[in-house]
Structure formats: C-alpha cells, structure tokens
Homo-oligomer: A and B are copies of this chain.
C-alpha cells in the first residue's frame, strides 16, 4: 500500500506555503490578463504546469470567453488634488473588469460608481463586473463618507480587448488513468484566504505527490472561477468520465472550523473519505450537503457532469466576516492552519489511494492468528487496537466491503485498518480483489 503521509515537517511546510502566498499577494489578478498569467508563471516555477490560452470569443457551452482585461492604474482625485482612492494602495480599489475612464465629475455622480460596506465601514469590498461593461471603485465606507462635495478626477487606465483567458494544468500520471481532480481558482486579486491559500496548498500538494508512485493520476487545475472550469469542462468532455474524485481547494488558511462540502452525489468515495478523515482529525468540523452556490464545484457538479467533486475548506465563503474584503489579507492566514489543511488533504488522498476490497482467505471461523504471531500468546486479557483492526478486516473482508467501509463500521481510523490489512496480506491471510471506486453517478446519464 502507498503511504502518502511521508514525513512533512508541518512547521516548515506551513511556513513555505505562507511565503508563496506572500509572493503572490501583490499581483493584481482577474479572470483574464497579466495578473493571472504572472501567477501561473510563479506556480510553474514549482511544479510542471501546462499553460492554456483560450481566445476571447471562444464558445464554451452556454458561455463565451470574455475579452481580456488588464489594468495599469486607477485613482480618484478630490477637488484638492488629493488621491482619495488609488489602485497602488490596494488592488481591491477598482471594480474588476472596469472599462477605461478618464474624466471629471461631481461627487453626486461619482457616488453611483462607488461600492462600500456600510456595516464594515473600515474595509474595502471586493467587487467585479465581468459580464456587464461598467466601471467602479471600492473603498471604505468611512473614507467615502469623508469625501467633500466638488469636482473629482476619475481615471481608470485599463484595457478590455480581445485577448485570451489563461489557465494552468498540472497532470501527474499514476498507475491508472482514473483521475483525481484538484481545482482552485486563481482570479482573486490580493485576497489571502480566498484564494491564495488554495493556490499555495494545491501547489505544495502537487510538489509532494510528484515524488510518489500513485494509483490515481492527479490533475491540478489553476483556473479563473466559473468561466475557467466551464472552459476546462467544455474542452475536455471526452475525458471527463475519468475523473473519479475531486476536491475544490479554497479558504484553507484561516483558523476556523474545518468544513467539508459534499459533492452533489453525496455518497461518492471522496465524500466518505473526507468525512472519515475529519471524524478522526481530533478537530471540530462540519460536513455540509452540496448546494449549487460556492466555487467551481458548481460547474463540476452541474447535472450534465455530476462529478464526484467536493470541497474541503476551513471556514467557508460568506461565513467569515473578512470574506471578499480587504481584511482577507495575510494577517488572516496562519502557517499552521495551512500545514494542517495540507495534512488533511493528504489523509483524504491516502484513503482514495489505498481503499480496496479484499477477501479473507480463511473465512470459516477466525484463522489462527496466534501461530502467525498476530495474536497475544497469553489469553484472558482484552484486545488492543492492532488486534481489533485485524479482526475487523478479517471479519468484513468478504469481497464487498472496502477498507474504508471497514473503517467506518469499526469506528477505527483508516490508517489502523490499512495497517492491519497490510499485516494480513503479508501473513497470507488476505487477498486484494479490487480497488475501490465511487458508485456511478445517476446524473449525467441520458444527457
């Protein structure tokens, strides 16, 4: 069996992921343009990354790849010539996909283009307008209220022109062509937990898995949200059935409670694996059912695909007050939370890699474990963890239960069950019959 939990020093790994986030934080990303291109370039310095450029206007299902957006400068000058809003201070100040502007206008008119958060008056919101051509600025409510009447200079030095949409793909071939999909969105400017933490974790995970010999092939997608996953799905329809399991990586760096959002199927292998790992994590956690809002699981779990893709996060989107504001910055993210999240991802993948069905070769009564050194010689005392795990594996290895099923039914952690199965395989008591897989989706049939 494959042990994915090789020594990763949590402190070092957490610090390393955090450093990468810090490196990426200043880049002004959007769903297209040089910001996401630069980000992908930095990821490509760490893992083998295939870059795709998809031209503006390409039809992908019901969508069209939008124009490419780039931004150089954006600011507002008040009647006294003071820059009251400046892209140089924060990438959030400009509404994503704002068209170019170079004009003067009175405050009364400017107001309609300014977004604030009245209930979080010191924070800058994150706003976009990808599919409706307009422009705007985002600023703190308390600064907005301090603006004096008068004529303002408004300038957005952006371009919104035919170009391309860029995304990155890292494919790690395994023993089989069955794939695990790891997807994260890379389109947010200067927001740390959502989703530089996801980028850092996915990158580090790919680095780690690269060195291992694995059963599954792993496909990492670094994409702009929504349109990116739709582009990928549209361009890979013929091989989508290979995706056996997947996870959308986001919000993995805060100190909040672990949360697993199930795939639309709800009972896919990745769903059961993630729930099992969280149950044995020793941490507080939640498992929530699929809902059709969130990140790219919306697309992977659309009814025409119904992929077994869940999402393992810490505090989910909209549930932490810093979400989509200037407070989702590097202060919100803790290196130890990043490392812990990475460890949990590895434990989930460890289940996917090692789950399998076995047959007990001595199914009639228990085999005599004692003569094989697998039972304590002195009787009359209880059974320790190792013995219990062996007895469970023997009892349930009837060609139908997988190791995960055995772990679930016994209440023991997967690692203990996996270890027992290995000992019994080594002892000639067990035979592997088949690797585990998710039950087939009922969804996409008939489409």
Contact = CB atoms under 8 A, between A and B. Distances in A.
A61 B394 CA distance: 15
A305 interface: yes
A234 B368 CA distance: 14
Nearest to A371: B131
Contacts of A399: 446
Interface string A364-407: 11111011000001111111000110011011111110000000
Contacts of A120: none
Nearest to A31: B379
B392 A292 contact: yes
A365 B292 contact: no
Interface stretch (A10-18, A121-129, A346-354): A121-129
A130 interface: yes
A447 B363 contact: yes
B234 A131 contact: no
A440 to B, nearest CB: 14
Interface stretch (A144-152, A163-171, A295-303): A295-303
A442 B378 contact: no
B360 A128 contact: no
A205 interface: no
A395 B318 contact: no
Given A293-B388, A392-B292, A364 B447 contact: yes
A362 interface: yes
Top 9 A-B pairs ranked by shortest CB distance? A304-B363, A304-B364, A292-B395, A132-B377, A292-B391, A303-B398, A128-B379, A62-B367, A230-B365
Interface of A: 60-63, 95-96, 115, 125-132, 134, 136, 226, 229-230, 233-234, 237, 264, 289, 291-293, 298-299, 301-306, 318, 324, 360, 362-368, 370-371, 377-383, 387-388, 391-392, 394-400, 409-410, 442-444, 446-447
Given A126-B380, A127-B380, A230-B365, 19 more contacts: A62-B362, A62-B365, A62-B367, A63-B368, A96-B379, A127-B379, A128-B378, A131-B370, A136-B378, A292-B366, A293-B382, A293-B383, A299-B365, A299-B366, A303-B394, A303-B395, A303-B398, A304-B365, A324-B380
